Structure 1
Amino acid sequence: MRSRIWRVACALLLSLPATSAFARTCDLSIGSDDAMRFDKAELRVAADCTQVRLTLRHTGRQRAAAMGHNWVLTRTADYRPVAIAGGRGSLAHSYLPPGDARVIAHTNVIGGGETTTITFPTAGLVRGGDYTFFCSFPGHWNVMRGKLVFG
């Protein structure tokens, strides 16, 4: 009898949808500067993370309109087309096409001495997928980029 109750209880627990009690937020941090560099070329996110909280620091001195930086995540195949389209945009839209579904996550553009943090779900990421992060400020994306590894 006890064994049957145990099996039923386990089956019920396994059938429950994932809730926030099982959520795991993983923190990432990356710096940027007035020399158009990120301080990391690769960021790793563990497969059991359900969301990522990313903090971008701009350690330079120049204001956002002159030497602003943001952090944008796309599939690697999408990064160049998104960056080019964003370059035709404005600072108000963080140099990204508004509502572009190819953008997985992004921060706003910040200037020297500023910090910004975003939180985004990992549900759309595929373990072992090919992801690029970059700064979409015009002219920066070709040198300010790196790889995000999920899993």
Structure 2
Amino acid sequence: MNAQTRISLLVAACLFGLAACNQPPATDTAATPAATPATETPPVETTAPATEAPAATAPAATTPAAGDKPAAVVTDCKTEIEGSDAMQYNVGSITVPASCTSFTITLKHTGTMPAAAMGHNVVISKAADMQAVAADGMGAGAAAMYVKPGDTRVIAHSDVVGGGQSTSVSFDVARIKDGGPYEFFCSFPGHSAIMKGTIAVG
């Protein structure tokens, strides 16, 4: 091999080496995706809608029935009963001694309200007539003491009184000996439904 050939091979080898050196390094085209940290979705809390407790209901006011009240105390063919601002008599029954020919009931209003607002009286009639007597009395008005003038169904009746006042009524006992049962009641409008009691000869 002559010198010229050696130089040509050497030059070729250098050129090949330089070409190899100038090549960019091989890169992996398969990019590894960056690891994405898993994100937890916070749990959604579901809260049941608040429900209001039902409003407490006050117990209905109870009115003692006439049978739950004591009997009136009778002395010397007379008795005293009371009416109050609570629209109540204090007794549920009156027993008239058979020995009496005349009997007197005194009504004392123990309240403070005036007669126009919470007046009370005592009316005596047959139990079967009470509602009709009270209805007709309401129509008669305050000037008539809530008793229809000339009502033959009425055995006896007192005046209407207000708080702190008293009134009395007397009647012939023979009128309630037969044909009963009889009741005493207040004929002020709306009162007779609960303000009543029995009256009989015993």
Instruction: Tell me the TM-score range normalised by the shorter chain.
Output: 0.7 to 0.9
Q: How does 1:63-74 map onto structure 2 within 5 Å?
A: 63-74=114-125
Residue of structure 2 aligned with 1:112, choices 163, 170, 194: 163
SS at match of 2:140: coil
Q: Within 2, Cα distance between the matches of 1:82 and 1:136?
A: 8
Instruction: Kindly indicate whether structure 1 or structure 2 has the higher relative contact order, using CA contacts under 8 Å at least 6 residues apart.
Output: 1
User: What TM-score comes out, normalization by structure 2 length?
Assistant: 0.61
For the pair shown, which has the larger CA radius of gyration, 1 or 2? 2
Structure 1 or 2: more strand by fraction: 1
Q: How does 1:1-151 map onto structure 2 within 5 Å?
A: 26-126=77-177, 129-151=180-202
Judged with a 3 Å threshold, the aligned counterparts in structure 2 of structure 1 residues 54 and 109 are, in CA distance, closer, same or farther, namely: same
Query: Letter of the aligned partner of 1:103 in structure 2?
Result: V
Q: Within 2, Cα distance between the matches of 1:138 and 1:62?
A: 15
- Identity, % of aligned positions: 46
The answer to whether the 8 A contact 1:128-1:149 is kept is: no
SS at match of 1:98: coil
Give the CA deviation at 1:127.
5.0
Give the CA deviation at 1:81.
0.6
**Structure 1: runs of 5 or more not aligned:** 1-24
User: What TM-score comes out, normalization by structure 1 length?
Assistant: 0.80
Give the CA deviation at 1:133.
0.7
SS at match of 1:66: helix
Give the CA deviation at 1:129.
2.8
Give the CA deviation at 1:90.
1.1
Structure 1 moving runs of 4+ over 4 Å? none
**Structure 2: runs of 5 or more not aligned:** 1-75
RMSD, aligned α-carbons: 1.3
SS at match of 2:134: helix
Deviation digits for residues 39-80 of structure 1 (CA, Å, limit 9, x no counterpart): 001011011110001100000001101100000000111111
Q: How many equivalent residue pairs?
A: 127
